[in-house]
Amino acid sequence: MEDHNPTLRVIRILESLIGQPEGKTLTEIAKSCEMPKGSIFPIVHTLADHKLLRYDDLSSKYSIGIRCYEIGNEYIMQMNVSDQIRELTKKIVNQCRETAHFAVLDGSDVVYLMKQDSSEAIRMVSSIGKRIPAYSTAIGKALLSGYSDEQVHALYPEGLQKITDKTITSLDVLCGQLGEIRKTKIAYETEESSLNITCIAVPVEKNGEVVAAFSVSIPIFRAAKEKKEQVKAVLFEAKEEVETLIRTLPFHI
């Protein structure tokens, strides 16, 4: 079945505002979507009327509205095991005092579904719903470990782009790392997506397939060997708990 063009316009407009907390003007939305301003105005106006977009009178900018949050929250609740996973994420933070994430793969990007902040003053800054190229993060590599090398190459037909100076840009190097993750069930990354941050992650599997992942992000100055070993142990415990939990329960991604 062919895509429905009017619906695609709505999707492209909403996607253009992901990760844009300050919003965009109608002109900016039209430019990023590569669509005439006149043709998207009634769509944007309708989305704002139904609170899927929020319009700021002072800046004349549109941003994601509260109804999108409500819809996204409903998606998380339909995972059926979300409360238990949220508690596991909190448990990880309580044990290692560092920021923890729970995420899934959407196309070639990581999407953070849950996050629990560290109580430390200096910690990683991130947000639920944030998307980031999977190859540049430990949690993304944990997720990509469920793909074959051929599938990974297909995900990035234009190659790997730098996020920081430390980001891996070789698909061969990435696939080599993924091969190791498949064997060890642990993924690492240092300053490849955020400077001064190192991350450790584990894939979450169901019926032999990687369906999600946990990660812990540590400022480099706190990432001593003992801390890393503690984090690994905590993550493996969380992996075992959630895999046991979802073994007989629905887990919708």
pLDDT tens-place values along the chain, 253 residues long: 556 778 888 989 998 888 788 899 999 999 999 999 888 899 999 999 999 999 999 999 999 988 887 777 666 655 556 778 888 899 999 999 999 999 999 889 998 888 887 666 544 555 555 688 999 999 999 999 999 999 999 999 999 999 999 999 999 999 999 999 999 999 999 999 989 999 999 999 998 899 999 999 999 999 999 999 999 999 999 999 989 887 766 655 4
Dist CA 219 CA 216 (whole Å): 10
Helix (H, G, I), strand (E, B) or coil at 160: coil
Structure tokens at 242: 């959630």
Which of 73, 134, 125, 130 has the alpha carbon at shortest distance from 99? 125
Residues 6+ apart with CB under 8 A from 248: none
pLDDT, position 173: 96
Q: What is the pLDDT of residue 200?
A: 97
Asked if residue 18 lies in contact with residue 27, where contact means CB atoms within 8 angstroms, the answer is no
Query: Can you give the pLDDT at residue 81?
Result: 65
* Tokens at 200, concatenated: 């450790």
What is the Cα–Cα distance from 65 to 63, expressed in whole angstroms? 6
- State the Cα–Cα distance between residues 74 and 220, nearest whole angstrom: 36
CA angle 139, 16, 49 (to 5 degrees): 120
What residues contact 179, with CB distance under 8 A and at least 6 apart? 149
Q: Name the pTM for this structure.
A: 0.68
Q: Which domains does the chain show, CATH number per domain? A: 5-69 (1.10.10.10), 80-246 (3.30.450.40)
Neighbours of 247 (CB within 10 A): 11
- Give the separation between CA 16 and CA 19, rounded to whole angstroms: 8
pLDDT of residue 126: 52
Torsion of CA 125, 106, 184, 191, to 10 degrees: -30
